[in-house]
Each structure stands twice: as C-alpha cells, then as structure tokens.
Amino acid sequence: MREATAAVDGSLSTVDADPLAPRPQDVAARDLCRRLAVDVVEPVAREADETRTFPAEAVRALAAEGILGASLPTELGGLGWDALQLTHLYEEFGRVDQSVRGFLSVHLGLVCQCLFDAGSEQQRQTWLPRLASGEVFGAYALTETGAGSDAAAIATHAVADGDGWRLSGEKVWITNGLSAGVFLLFATVDPELRHKGVTAFLIPGDAEGLSRDRMPGHELGHRGSEHARLTLDRVRVGPDQVVGGIGGGFEVAMGGLDHGRLGVAAGAVGLLQACLDATIEFCRERRQFGKRIGDFQMVQERIADMACDTDAARLLTKRAAWMAIRDLPRTREVSMAKLFATEAACRWASETVLLHGSRGYVNERPVERHFRDAPGLRIYEGTSYVQRIVIARDLVGREARS
C-alpha cells in the first residue's frame, strides 16, 4: 500500500517544493548535459546509426566529465545527482541520440543505481567506482527468448556448486552487452518457484564460460547501441556475487526498473522536444501556396498538440522524479510517465516526418532517425501494455484470496 504521505490522486502536492522552479543544481546539470550532448554526441550520432557502431569514444568523453557516475554519491566517484537532475541528463542526451541515452539508462539506472540500492558494501566498493569512472561499462541481463514481459519465467539456472553456483543459459537483447565489463544478470535457483526463485548475480565480463555475440538481424532503431546475446556455460559464481540474496532477484530487477523506466520516460521527452524544435524551425522556413506552412491552421493544430504532449510528458516525468527524491512509492507514477512519454514520442515522431514532407524521409535530418528510434522506447523496460497492467493493478488492487 502506498503511504499516507502520497496523495490519492498522485498530484504534485505530494512534494513540498514548486516542481516548476528549477533549482540551481538542475540548471547546472541541464547545461552540462546539453553542452556534452551537442558537442560530443550529436556530431557522431548519424554515423553511429548508419554504421551500426557503438560510439565508444564519445561515451569515454562523457566518462571524463563524470557522466557515467552521475547517479552515484561523490564518495564512490560519482556526481551525486538526484532523480530530478538525472531527468535533465536523459532528456538532453535523448534529444540528440537514443543509442547513447539508452547506454546511459542501462549503465546508470539499471546497473549503478540497482547495485547501490541492493548490493553489499563489498560489491559497491568493488564495482561502483570503476563503473563511475567508465573503466567498466555495465549491462543488465534479464530477457531471454522465452521470458520477455514474463520475467519470472527465466530459464537461465543456477546450480549449487560448493559454496557458490554454476550458471547456464542464454540471454537476449542485452544493451551494452558486447563491451560491458560487468553484468547484473538474473537466473533462477528453481524455475518452479517462479519469481521467488529469481536471483541476481554480478558477473565480470571476462568470466570463464560467458560468451557474447551480436543479436542477429538489423534493428529498426537504436542502431548505435550494442544488443548482445549472452551464452552462459557453467559460469562459476561465488557467494559474494549474489545481489539481494537468494530468491531476492525479482525485487532487485523491479527496483532497477523504477530507475530505468524514469530514464526511458525522460529520454522520450528529449525525443519529443527534438521533434517539436525541428518542426517549428521547418514550418517557419518552408513555404507553399505563398505562405509559411506554419501559418496553415491544420499545421498549427499539430504543433500546438505536440507542444502540449511534450510538456505533459515532461511534467509526468518530473513528478515521478520528485517522488523518487522523497523516496515515496512511485511504481505507478513511473509507469504513467513511461507510458505517456513513449506513446507520445512514437505518435509525434511519425507526425514530424509527415510535417517535413519528403525532407523527413531521408537521413539528412535527424527526424528520420527519431522516427525509427521511438518504437524501441515503447518496448524495452516493459512494453506499453505492461505499463498499463502496472498502472491498473495499482489502482484496482489485487482481489483478496481466501
């Protein structure tokens, strides 16, 4: 049950500060990330997409500015940013490139924050400074061929071996999976137990028995990302590599998704803002029938609706971030932000291509890439249908069983 401090309608009154007034630290975070997005990521985004190459050099340049540890405390080598500052980070990088934004959501949200929340002191000290500096990249390995939305159905199994385990199985679609130096990987100690058997393990990238290759096929979008298939053949793990206890992995996975989904929502806001900016600029310059196309009422209606959805997505995202800062239960609000922002991103990326006419249909402008990147946002970290299940279940509650 949610605590009494959270209003029933989840409104912004649940927090004690004006969410519309940017704090100095938000302005600083936004300005730094905007500068890095424009100077470092944007210039390489098109080539990374065309060549399907992870822009490792650009990501290393972000590491040098501390971005790869943004969500971690300064004692662990991070920037100590809170959830609201992180929404600026994801929005600014999402504005120029979903592949790098996706890298950051996984590395920061799903791995660093998850490990910080659920890891032992020894695990934190061993891995988090290395992740923060960019010495190693993190990946989060949950999905399997037979277990996507139904994460409790994972078949990668952990068999007891002395004081530890041996893991065997296969993971698919693992972002950052080719170059990751550490995996937060989920396996089951007993498939019959469903979610109660799921256990999280920290697996170093060079673990014996772990192999990785690129997912087959060409992705629709996020082509600058690494999507890997992992094969585990009796990978040995010791007791110090278990995160959150045996059988505690499902909770670890879902806790990570509260961070990760917020990053996806903020990334979608960035994509929406990019589409809006591109559309406004184009509608001011393109003339037909003797007028700027931005002077036609039908086009104005589209621009006005796109602006409203962009702001609404941003406000839903910021509400969830404020709730994170206050440590309030927020799974529903995070899902609402992810659902609304990613659906709007898909809708408006498509409309932006249309509003650009033939110029939206080639890769000389980034709107074509935004259009291909947007559908991925609705799929990973829980599809839009799954977000609706999370929201509705929280509202309706589960029926009591006798």
Ligand X SMILES: Cc1cc2nc3c(=O)[nH]c(=O)nc-3n(C[C@H](O)[C@H](O)[C@H](O)COP(=O)(O)OP(=O)(O)OC[C@H]3O[C@@H](n4cnc5c(N)ncnc54)[C@H](O)[C@@H]3O)c2cc1C
Considering the rule CB under 6 A, would residue 141 count as an interface residue with ligand X?
yes
Helix 83-96 and helix 249-285: axis angle, to 10°?
50
Considering the rule CB under 6 A, would residue 220 count as an interface residue with ligand X?
no
Cβ pair 235, 168 in contact under 8 A: yes
Q: Using alpha carbons only, how large is the chain's radius of gyration in Å?
A: 21
Considering the rule CB under 6 A, would residue 48 count as an interface residue with ligand X?
no
Tokens of 234: 């009796």
Which position's Cβ is nearest ligand X? 148
Q: Which stretch binds ligand X (CB under 6 A): 40-48, 336-344, 366-374, 376-384?
A: 376-384
Tokens of 99: 């592949």
Task: List the catalytic residue out of 92, 144, 226, 381.
Answer: 381
Active site residue 381: yes
Main-chain phi, psi angles of 265, to 5 degrees: -60, -45
Q: Which of 142, 230, 321, 390 binds ligand X (CB under 6 A)?
A: 142
What mask of x and - would describe binding to ligand X in positions 85 to 124, judged by CB under 6 A? ---------------------x------------------
Helix (H), strand (E) at residue 187: strand 182-188
Q: Which of 127, 173, 322, 340 binds ligand X (CB under 6 A)?
A: 173
Q: Which of 90, 183, 282, 380 binds ligand X (CB under 6 A)?
A: 380
First to last CA, the chain: 19
Nearer to ligand X, 11 or 145 (CB): 145
CA distance 377 to 371: 11
Q: Which of 14, 71, 143, 310 binds ligand X (CB under 6 A)?
A: 143
Nearer to ligand X, 254 or 307 (CB): 254
Considering the rule CB under 6 A, would residue 175 count as an interface residue with ligand X?
yes
Residue closest to 180 by CA, chosen among 136, 214, 116? 136
Q: To the nearest whole angstrom, how small is the minimum distance from the Cβ of residue 263 to ligand X?
A: 12
Cβ pair 259, 113 in contact under 8 A: yes
Alpha helices by DSSP H, listed for 356-383, are: 367-379
Three-class SS state of 46 = helix
Nearer to ligand X, 80 or 148 (CB): 148
Three-class SS state of 189 = coil
Q: Which stretch binds ligand X (CB under 6 A): 283-291, 334-342, 352-360, 384-392?
A: 384-392
Nearer to ligand X, 168 or 383 (CB): 383
What type of residue sits at position 16?
Answer: D
Catalytic positions are 381
Residues that bind ligand X (CB under 6 A): 106, 140-143, 148-149, 173-175, 222, 227, 376, 379-380, 382-383, 385-386, 389
